[in-house]
Amino acid sequence: MADARLGAIEALATIDSASAHAELRMLLGEMRRRDLLKRVATVLGEPLEATLARDDRVRREKRRLVQATADPEPKERRRAAAAFVRRELAPTLRDAGFDDSAGRTFWRRLDDRVEVLHAKAHTGGLTLELGIWFRFIPRPYAVPEHDGRERPGDLFCDLRGDVHAWSGDLESAGRESALWFARWRPLPVVLRFLLGGTQSDDAFGWGAPGSPYHRMLTGYVARAAGNAEVARGHLSLAAAYFRNQLEEPSTEQAHDPDWVAWVDRLEADAASV
């Protein structure tokens, strides 16, 4: 079956038409074999960061499936975790300003960002997955919303980290999470981290240093922090990379008006700093 799908992918790649690309995009939503997904993404000209995000998501889905298969009581544990979060964690988070939630995910909106916390159940307790999504960064696609309020998931976040709450020890995990969010509240601190001046074992962001998405993120954080020189340099490099993508007619982005408008915005912001 895998060889047949690989043959179909290569055949569609050879055809290289709009209908063939539509079929390939459908395969992206159906397949779970990571090497085939990467091949389809390459044929479609998908940005590396998007491919890596999907690969990470599929990898975690497969890991969860393996864990669920090996665990005789996964549903009971998830129900217990959900009840524990509603009873113990949710009231504390609401008091701390996380006034929007869905299941075990909570959002706190500030002037320049949305802070995200997701409680993930596992055998030893909970992991609090933390994220920061900056409002001032333009996006090629809309972030999920509910009742007009942004609800970025962990893969949408610009900075991410996690805190483990073993055996339900939410009090210490809550303090550690609060410190994590507070640490990244000053934009100059975020900028130093993105530029490589700060080493951190508890945070990671989009793309490796030097990648176009990392440059885009660094440029907008620098602009918001008032560092025009760094902002101009990084946004110009990011805009040039994505403009080159648009000049390749075979890439999916070249025919996407939202993507074209986003690249226009990058160029304009780079020029205006």
Select, from the ranges 25-29, 40-44, 63-67, 196-200, the one with the highest average predicted confidence (pLDDT): 40-44
Given this model, what pLDDT does residue 133 score? 95
Does the pTM surpass 0.95? The reply is no
pLDDT tens digits, one per residue of 159-194: 998 888 765 567 788 888 999 999 999 999 999 999
pLDDT band at residue 55 under the 50/70/90 scheme: confident
**Within a 10 A sphere around the Cβ of 271, how many other Cβ atoms?**
11
Tokens 């995200």 belong to: 116
Q: Which residues contact 203 (CB under 8 A, 6 or more apart)?
A: 159, 160, 161, 180, 184, 193
Q: pLDDT higher for 114 or 29?
A: 114
Distance from C-alpha of 36 to C-alpha of 65, rounded to nearest angstrom:
19
Given this model, what pLDDT does residue 234 score? 96
- What's the average model confidence in pLDDT over 59-83? 65
Q: What percent of the chain has pLDDT over 70?
A: 79
pLDDT band at residue 2 under the 50/70/90 scheme: very low
Cα separations in angstroms, 266 against 46, 57, 69, 104, 234? 18, 28, 46, 35, 10
Given this model, what pLDDT does residue 70 score? 58
Q: Is the pLDDT of residue 131 over 70?
A: yes
- What's the average model confidence in pLDDT over 126-134? 90
Q: Is the pLDDT of residue 92 over 90?
A: no
Given this model, what pLDDT does residue 1 score? 44
- What's the average model confidence in pLDDT over 147-151? 92
Q: pLDDT higher for 167 or 122?
A: 122
Q: Is the pLDDT of residue 238 over 80?
A: yes
